[in-house]
Structure 1
């Protein structure tokens, strides 16, 4: 695959070209765009997006107004560039895409990952990788940075430890298969008087609430295929150890950090189901017997701010509860986060092509089953 710049040169060009005046504030966003793909689909029942659909997503992008965005469920750099063109954004894409192209899934042997790294695309005229038409698509994470924001991507690093191997029944063929879940993508970002580390994640789906058993989150290496379907809560619990390890390293580096993305967990209501331990106390260390492994964290949204659906029809359903979050180093979360936190509601948008207001009935399949959200870092 063509790589048009070395990373150090890319950073230099980002820093020197195309920026307006630097600003102290940075708007941080996150968006699961639901199987964003071109020339193919992730699942057989996905509806391929049209040019009008991509225009609608770009309108949502502009309404969000974020400078740095963690993306989930994106299938290729080419698909991302349809919403975040390289003329206006730098696109950093998970190295899991290249690992899959190299045939390393689902086990990803560590000894074969030495040459696999994330790629940041900074040349608007360069080709962006995309699977051939009709080829199977997979979901990945990415980070995009608006050129006019004044933010520079200092470095990027994959977190393949989150991409656990699992055994599950294929929802379409009903056959058991061994596959992998999604890697994380870490980016260190710097701008005017601001430097922080961002980890983009898309954790295991299917365990919005329920017990995360200690045998899984405390012993993540004991897994092996056994011909039975892995429970989603088992896989999410297994992801806690590599996530906590990343947190420990990030805290030791003394750089402010934030995890952003689809946690696939209703953190603000999980305690109500009385099945413990839960995601938040495991992540922070409150559920562990050791006191020296506690992680001082703070999340956005939280409390009543976590209760907002993408469509008004869902305001009284379970979908009103957030599963997408920013998880901050406790000292890094803005003190006034509630004043700037925004969750874009698709029902408040107008189609740029038809000028009609969006409805769930007509437009839910064109947008996403997740709302983009943002917060201002001052």
Structure 2
């Protein structure tokens, strides 16, 4: 009887595995630290409990199988948005407030891989960058490797190879570890997806996007589209597939969960990023 019950509990995850909903969401300074904490910029206002509850409600509406999240101060804070009765949390080992990680729906087996620490170009600096969170989903049809990133801000649309802005130099330098990670996945023959806040528009003849494609051809769900989040604009939150996962990604399933609340005050209270999701049809 116990064995039958265990099989029944596992059945929904197996059935749902034929289609996988992946999402990325920057939760903007999700921390329990108080205002004025030395680890926070002076202008950061930590979220109130009622705001966290609203975000948790949106996470429930999102109902993604896997969420790559950014700007979360550890697994305990992530669990306030993605409750432990529904999700398993994995967060990088960075000693920073703005960490990246994953919320993986219970019933989906995964293994945590070492952080992509090479994205943190200045490990000795006070204002450190964020490592990438790296996991492998162990699905009925095989493995799917996922990388969650939060890249350097401040070079959203500048000509990457011509700009002399320090932020652009940093973003250029972050390309090498990303290219290395992609090249490794191609060599292994493992399907993979990169998700997160790239802080970069990639449409047109963008040098950053072209460089990402050098180790392996990629498909980007957000290509040629505009986001309706907080009044609209170009996407900087992207979901990018490589290897066999390019054929699994259903680009027409791209969705942005827009908040019901409007106005600059709500944007400050919640997050300036909306969840972005896309569905993948997986092989049997």
Matches within 5 A, 1:347-358: 349=260, 358=261
Alpha-carbon deviation of 1:325? 0.4
Q: For the structure 1 residues 64 and 248, does the alpha-carbon distance in structure 2 shift closer, same or farther, using more than 3 Å as the test?
A: same
In 1, Cα distance between equivalents of 2:68 and 2:246: 17
SS of residue in 1 equivalent to 2:212: helix
2:162 paired with 1:249 = no
Alpha-carbon deviation of 1:16? 8.2
1:373 aligned residue? 276
Which consecutive unaligned segments of at least 5 residues does structure 2 have? 1-5
Which consecutive unaligned segments of at least 5 residues does structure 1 have? 1-14, 101-136, 168-176, 217-228, 272-276, 286-293, 350-357
Larger Rg: 1
SS of residue in 2 equivalent to 1:241: helix
Alpha-carbon deviation of 1:341? 1.2
Q: Which structure features the higher share of strand residues? A: 2
Match of 1:35 among 4, 23, 29: 29
Alpha-carbon deviation of 1:231? 0.5
2:121 aligned residue? 164
Number of corresponding residues: 269
1:203 aligned residue? 151
Q: For the structure 1 residues 85 and 328, does the alpha-carbon distance in structure 2 shift closer, same or farther, using more than 3 Å as the test?
A: same
2:252 paired with 1:339 = yes
Alpha-carbon deviation of 1:19? 4.4
Matches within 5 A, 1:32-181: 32-40=26-34, 42-96=40-94, 100=95, 138-147=97-106, 150-165=107-122, 178-181=126-129
In 2, Cα distance between equivalents of 1:374 and 1:189: 17
Alpha-carbon deviation of 1:330? 5.1
2:3 aligned residue? none
Q: For the structure 1 residues 240 and 336, does the alpha-carbon distance in structure 2 shift closer, same or farther, using more than 3 Å as the test?
A: closer
Query: 1:30 touches 1:71 (CA, 8 Å); kept in 2?
Result: yes
Query: 1:139 touches 1:182 (CA, 8 Å); kept in 2?
Result: yes
Alpha-carbon deviation of 1:335? 6.0
1:231 aligned residue? 166
2:203 paired with 1:302 = no
Query: 2:90 touches 2:112 (CA, 8 Å); kept in 1?
Result: no
Query: 2:118 touches 2:131 (CA, 8 Å); kept in 1?
Result: yes
In the superposition, the TM-score normalised over structure 2's length comes to: 0.86
Query: 1:166 touches 1:235 (CA, 8 Å); kept in 2?
Result: no
The two structures, once aligned, show a CA RMSD in angstroms of 2.5
SS of residue in 2 equivalent to 1:341: strand
In 1, Cα distance between equivalents of 2:108 and 2:203: 31
